[in-house]
Amino acid sequence: MYTNITKVIAREILDSRGTPTIEVDLFSKKIKATASVPSGASVGIHAALELRDHEQRYFGKGVKKAVANVNTIIFPAIKGMSCFNQKALDNFLITLDGTPNKAILGANAILAVSLANARLASKIKNIPLYKHISKLAQTKPRLPTPFFNVINGGKHSDSKLAIQEFMIVPKSKSFKQALRMGSETYHMLKHILEKRGANSTNVGDEGGFVPNIATTSQALRLLTKAIKAAGYEGKIKIAMDAAATSFFKRGKYKIDKRTLTKDKLVQKYRRMLLKYPIISLEDPFYEEDFISFAKLTKLVGKSVQIVGDDLLVTNIERMETAIKAKSCNCLLLKVNQIGTLTEAINAFKLAKKQRWNVMVSHRSGETEDSFIADLVVGLGAGQIKSGAPCRSERLAKYNQLLRIEEEL
């Protein structure tokens, strides 16, 4: 069985926002595997560096440098390495870059190679990608609960809503049924919004609606109405991603036409959690405010998961700080925040050691690559968010989970 890497080809493609990103083909003789890298709008300052060209083309967002780094630096260095040793490859790429945030080669360049390598190994072994990942992580595969982003705010839209994502979370014995419940509620929400007049059913980056509303309570009322009208009251819960760094200014939070201190915001969240069936709250505070995260987690953490995204950026060092402060009880796992599959697996293992939940996540600028569907199953993480149940770059993940469910 031939397992050595013989050829690498990188190219610039476009993501779901029409912005350049990188795609890599990795070969072992005639066997080829491809992976592409997504890009976020709400990006934590501690995330690994996404290398951009900063030239006139594509308004500075081209990735020719990252492509060149794969073709001229990474390929000669990894040629002949075995794709079966994911950890060795990823550690070699980290060393080859030599910076804490992958600023030389670019996290996007490194990640594309890392993910393509995992897919290549699974192809050579002739096993599904999720099974290969479960062997790498030494975990038991399982299907996740989907978190569908059905109302977009914050940096994902031109809405007046400060909160970035309002999600519905169907609880079901099968993923197939959960997808149906999410889709039906999404379409019921669209029907309700159509009655509000023109532009109410415009959609944001992740396929969620961008209604002409300005407050969190309005969005939550719309969701509860849609859930009830679809016949799923009590069966579908609500989750939110505040992405609070985006509305944090000069030490205070601008939300719902008000300016609040962090203590006032804690109380606002608490009232919302008591009034609505919210089971998950992501990034409720500024990305450096470990203490406010901890206050809210202590207050509501037994019944609600407090998710760290920009706070943690899938980074072991940030996670250790949060563990000491008891800042949250759930990791949002994004492979492109850290830059290699091995580091993402290590972050997952640390989270599970702390008995945290883990939610595998897409990015707002996505590609048709369904890698995270296999990742969430392979890790047995139990939760995934990949946007609304519409738009092909989001459905690529959900449809892949349907296929995996048939196998499992």
Q: Where are the domains of the chain?
A: 7-126, 137-407
Q: Say which DSSP state 98 is in.
A: -
CATH topology of domain 137-407: TIM Barrel (3.20.20)
Tokens read off for 265: 């915001």
Q: What is the mean pLDDT of each run of 10 residues along the chain (408 residues)?
A: 94 96 97 93 77 95 97 97 97 96 96 98 97 97 97 77 95 96 97 82 89 92 97 97 94 93 95 95 96 96 96 96 97 95 98 97 94 98 96 96 96
CA 276/CA 261 separation, integer angstroms: 22
Angle at 370 between CA 360 and CA 339, to 5 degrees: 55
- What per-residue confidence (pLDDT) applies to 40? 74
For residue 144, give Cα distances in angstroms to 205, 227, 365, 381. 23, 20, 22, 7
Catalytic residues: 206, 334
Q: Quote the pTM value.
A: 0.94
Q: Which residues contact 89 (CB under 8 A, 6 or more apart)?
A: 78, 81, 83, 113, 114, 117
What type of residue is 362? H
Q: Which CATH superfamily is domain 7-126 in?
A: Enolase-like, N-terminal domain (3.30.390.10)
Tokens read off for 83: 């794709």
